[in-house]
Every structure is written in C-alpha cells, then in structure tokens.
Structure 1
Amino acid sequence: MSHKPNEIYTGCVGNSMFFTWDLSMSFAIYDAWCRRAAIRYTGNIYLIAKKRITHVYLTEEVFDHYKRMRATDEAFKKKFEQMSNNRKSEVGGSGTDISLHSAGSISVRQHGDTLEKKLQRRPTWNEMFRHLHTHDHDGQSFVYQRSAKIDDELTRRLEEMSTQTPDTSIDEDVVYLEVVQEVKGRVYSLGS
C-alpha cells in the first residue's frame, strides 16, 4: 500500500483493526505511543494502589509489590507530598482559603455550553466566573473568599466604567482580564 506523507490508514479484518503508516513516521508514532502508555501506566498504578480497580491479571503478590514500592520510593513520596500541599494551598495568599470551584468533573467548556443555552447568548467571562465559583451556581454565595473579592472588584470596575462612559459599550471580558490577570500564561477560572 502506498502512503502519502504524514497520513495514517486504518482497516479492519473481521473484528481486528490495524493501522499502517509511512515508515518515515515510525519514530514520531512510537514516541507518541510511549508518552500515552506512560500516562496510562501511571494512572493504573494510582488506581491499583488506591484499590479502586483490581484486575484479574493482577495477582495479590504483584499488588503487594506495587504497594511496597510506593511506600518506600522517596521520589514518589516527595512528589505526593508536593501535590497534596498544592491542593491545600491558598492561592491568593494566607487567609484567602483553599482554591475551590463548583464545576465538579464537568469541563468549563460544557458549563459554558449549558450557560449559553440558559442565557440564549454567549456568556461573558464574568458570568462564567460566577457560575463556576458559587454554590449551586447561584451567582451569589461564593465558595471561597478570593472568588468573592474578585467578583467585588469586577462589579466595582464595571460600575465605574459605566458611569464614566455611559454611551459606550463596555467589553466585560477585557475588564475581567484586567482584574484577574494572567499567571504563567493562564487566566484564572477559565479552565485554561
């Protein structure tokens, strides 16, 4: 079978699926496969250690080995402790509460789609912020102090701008970006 550069072909024989590609792509495909396999392996090790999954192929002896390995591996312990501390950190500084939101396992994009259907227009970032950081998405009772402070600042700035230039429309998204500011290339609360 001849291939065009950078194309992967799939096919089926019975219940089996196969893939073919130009040999010049083999290294890139292998590299991508190794990265995905490492992520998958790490996830499985985590789930196995937490006893959330038990596979038929996983003997009790192997399971005990994984548990001992995790219990004695200093690099793992250090990384685990750092991740735990990060989850407990107070992003806005001491006294601002632990960083929380009310999005759950639903992506920010899905929340945006839901809000867009409800409002029958594209929601502003400020509306998304209130939706994601209030209890039961009520827009009033914030899950922690930093969210309430940001909302107060946004409201103050928008009111200030509307009184200064009542005839001009205000781009709320620009005001949101000014208030929350980017940190390490990410915008707070937008799932970026």
Structure 2
Amino acid sequence: MRSLKRNKSGFKPAHIPQEVWNSLQLKWNTDEYKLKSEHNKKNRCNGVVDRVAKPTHNVGSASHLKIASDLKMKLERDPPHSELFLYTHTKNHDGVTFTNEKDRQIHAAYTEKQEKLEAEGVEFEEDKLFYDVVGGLDKKEDFMD
C-alpha cells in the first residue's frame, strides 16, 4: 500500500478521492496531529535540532541478523554482541572511528567494565555484560538467541 504523506504544495494527488483528501486535511490541521508530527520528526533526526541526523550505523541497509551471519562466517565463530556493536558502529569497521560520541562512550564503558572484571578474575558472559552496560536487551532485536 502506498504511504500517504501530506502534500506540501496543498494540491490533492489524482489517486486520492476528494472525500479522503478532505478527511486527511482535517486530521492534519489538528493540534494533536501537529504535535505528534513534530515529535516524530524530532525522533527521526535523533533529537538533533538542526534536523540533520547523524548516522548511527555503518553497514547500509543490511539487517543485524545478516551482518551477524556474515561476521560469523568471516570469524568462523559466533561474534558476541559487543563485537557486533563495534563492527556496526565504526567507520569502515575499523573498531576505532565511531559514527558518533554516544557509541564511543558505550564501547568505552563496556571495555572498562570488561577489563575490571578480568583483572579481578571474575568470570562473566560477554553478552550479559554488554547488555548490562547498554541498559538491557531490546526484545525486538533478540536475534542471536
């Protein structure tokens, strides 16, 4: 089904019946719709005020499941989530040049906690430690289980 977007020129597209167009115009002019639209616009831009969203991943349109599968074949082992994060959030997958500051901070926090536990001789599961650092597992992205 074709996505219906507000026509900035104000002209009704030929494929939309007049009755439907009128109801869309009414909805688009409500304060509730305008507030929700502005909120969603901000979310699409990751909260960036100047409306230029910074990249968050560096793998194109491939899904994380596909990337994890490709990385598994390349490494000949299952990559932990921390390694998948590092691969998808650094430029040219170099593990150094992060796409944004938040990603660098997440990796630094994970590395710091990992090194501390290793120095103390504490055993840990890498994936559990990673999700502890990032604040939990998003059930929609639970693709590695």
Q: TM-score, normalised by structure 2?
A: 0.70
- Could you list the runs of 5+ residues in structure 2 that have no partner in the other structure? none
How far 1:99 moved relative to its partner? 7.0
Sequence identity percentage: 24
Match of 1:59 in 2: 14
**Which runs of structure 2 are paired with 1:1-192 in the superposition (5 Å)?**
40=1, 43-46=2-5, 49=7, 59=14, 62=17, 65=21, 69=25, 72-74=28-30, 75-90=32-47, 100-165=56-121, 170-182=124-136, 186=138, 191=141
How far 1:84 moved relative to its partner? 0.8
CA contact (8 A) 2:117 2:123 kept: no
- Which structure has the greater CA radius of gyration? 1
How far 1:60 moved relative to its partner? 6.5
Paired with 2:108 and 2:75, the residues of 1 have a C-alpha distance of 22
How far 1:164 moved relative to its partner? 1.4
Paired with 2:135 and 2:102, the residues of 1 have a C-alpha distance of 14
Q: Which amino acid in structure 2 is aligned with residue 191 of structure 1?
A: E
How far 1:62 moved relative to its partner? 4.6
How far 1:163 moved relative to its partner? 1.6
Q: Which amino acid in structure 1 is aligned with residue 14 of structure 2?
A: T
How far 1:186 moved relative to its partner? 2.2
Q: Deviations over 1:83-105 (max 9, x none)?
A: 111123459xxxxx967222432
Q: TM-score, normalised by structure 1?
A: 0.55
- Could you list the runs of 5+ residues in structure 1 that have no partner in the other structure? 1-39, 51-57, 92-96
Moved over 6 A (4+): none
Paired with 2:16 and 2:80, the residues of 1 have a C-alpha distance of 54
What's the RMSD between the two structures over aligned residues?
3.4
Paired with 1:186 and 1:135, the residues of 2 have a C-alpha distance of 24
CA contact (8 A) 1:70 1:76 kept: no
Paired with 2:66 and 2:132, the residues of 1 have a C-alpha distance of 25
